[in-house]
Amino acid sequence: MSNINSTRYNWVDWCKSIAIFLVIWGHLPMHSIAISIIYSFHMPLFFLISGYLYKPQKTAKEEFKKNFKTLFVPYLIYQLIFYPYWMVRESLVFHQSFTIYDSIIRPIIQSLASNAINGPTWFIYCLLSFKIYAYCIQKKQSLSVPITCFSCILSILICFWLNNRSLYVTYAIHHFFTLIIFFFAGQALKHINLKYISDSLYKSIIWLSFFTIIFGTLIRTGYNSNYTTLLESVKFYTLGFTGSGMILGIGFILNRINSKIIYNISIGTMVILGIHWMLIGVLNFSIEKYLHLSEDISYSTSTAFFISGTITIIMYPMILFCKKHLPILLGKGFSSNKYRKLINSPSA
């Protein structure tokens, strides 16, 4: 199999683009089964893809330096970008007066302690934790199967224990235990020749049909992310894997279509993740005030879908701007000139 770190896979771009659209759609307030469907697999899918693309560095110094530049620094920048909106929201919605501790110190401590004020960016913090942990248990630059299996089982048991006792921790910490199995599963996918499937329309359709049937059958019985029984736990992880497999199948089928727009959305998922929450908040607040609603707004499934597409379109110029001038917001820890050379190279 060709080196996944020197070859760009079109199906990965399609999967990431679909996944980030689902993130936006799922964050819009609506009473619909679409919420359960989206939340049952969209974050497992992201971590599975992240695991597939992950390549540990040769030394611990290189690993931590890379993760610091490509994950931790962008995470902090997105908190800073979000901070003015957070301040206004705290004042207008929660009627909190300005104090040094509540308005400055608390959000800093909160974000550094994994409880991001920019809610969706918990994913970046969690991914950083996954990569550091995965690097620590790598053996000669490859996965240690016994340690990995033990880590996954232990993490599931810890999450089960937390859910069973209704113990709340931050999103990043809780999902570290919940979702690390998907990151490791992504790494395991490197050992499967997915090109053999993605290059064949027939095999891609079979793949998609298989996972869609299983996922569709299970989702009808309900979804619970805070599983407290063995059955709920099995269903949660089965939905996560089959839902992810379903989107991978769509990506395999769409692999035949090369699109610069999809490519840009794919490399700009971090920008969308870090900024879309503000756009949704401003939109919701504006509509609620304009319509004089006494309760929080709730969109229909189709309206939320349309709004998600609109937000994606609005975000697209921001992605292009960051791609040219601020690649660090794309999760690229080097200069824009070097980044331009990289994306214009034949292997990109």
Which structural domain, as residue segments, surrounds residue 262? Answer: 10-343
pLDDT tens readout for residues 227-264: 888 888 999 999 999 999 999 999 999 999 999 999 99
Query: What's the pLDDT score for residue 164?
Result: 86
pLDDT tens readout for residues 271-285: 999 999 999 999 998
Is residue 3 one of the residues assigned to a domain? no
Is residue 2 one of the residues assigned to a domain? no
Is residue 302 one of the residues assigned to a domain? yes
pLDDT tens readout for residues 105-157: 999 999 999 999 999 999 999 999 999 999 988 866 666 788 889 999 999 99
Is residue 117 one of the residues assigned to a domain? yes
pLDDT tens readout for residues 70-108: 999 999 999 999 999 999 888 877 777 888 888 899 999
Is residue 182 one of the residues assigned to a domain? yes
**What's the mean pLDDT in 154-161?**
92
Query: What's the pLDDT score for residue 4?
Result: 45
Is residue 150 one of the residues assigned to a domain? yes
Is residue 256 one of the residues assigned to a domain? yes
pLDDT tens readout for residues 21-59: 999 999 999 988 899 999 999 999 999 999 999 988 888
- Give pTM, 2 decimals: 0.90
Is residue 1 one of the residues assigned to a domain? no
Query: What's the pLDDT score for residue 212?
Result: 97
Number of domains in the chain: 1
pLDDT tens readout for residues 179-238: 999 999 999 998 888 989 999 999 999 999 999 999 999 998 888 888 888 888 999 999
User: SS3 string of the chain?
Assistant: CCCCCCCCCHHHHHHHHHHHHHHHHHHCCECCHHHHHHHCCHHHHHHHHHHHHCCCCCCHHHHHHHHHHHHHHHHHHHHHHHHHHHHHHHHHCCCCCCCHHHHHHHHHHHHHCCCCCCHHHHHHHHHHHHHHHHHHCEECCEECHHHHHHHHHHHHHHHHHHHHCCCCCCHHHHHHHHHHHHHHHHHHHCCCCHHHHHCCHHHHHHHHHHHHHHHHHHHCCCCCCCCCCHHHHHHHHHHHHHHHHHHHHHHHHHCCCCCHHHHHHHHCHHHHHHHHHHHHHHHHHHHHHHCCCCCCCCECHHHHHHHHHHHHHHHHHHHHHHHHHCHHHHCCCCCHHHHHHHHCCCCC
- pLDDT at residue 347 above 70? no
Query: What's the pLDDT score for residue 7?
Result: 61
Query: What's the pLDDT score for residue 259?
Result: 94
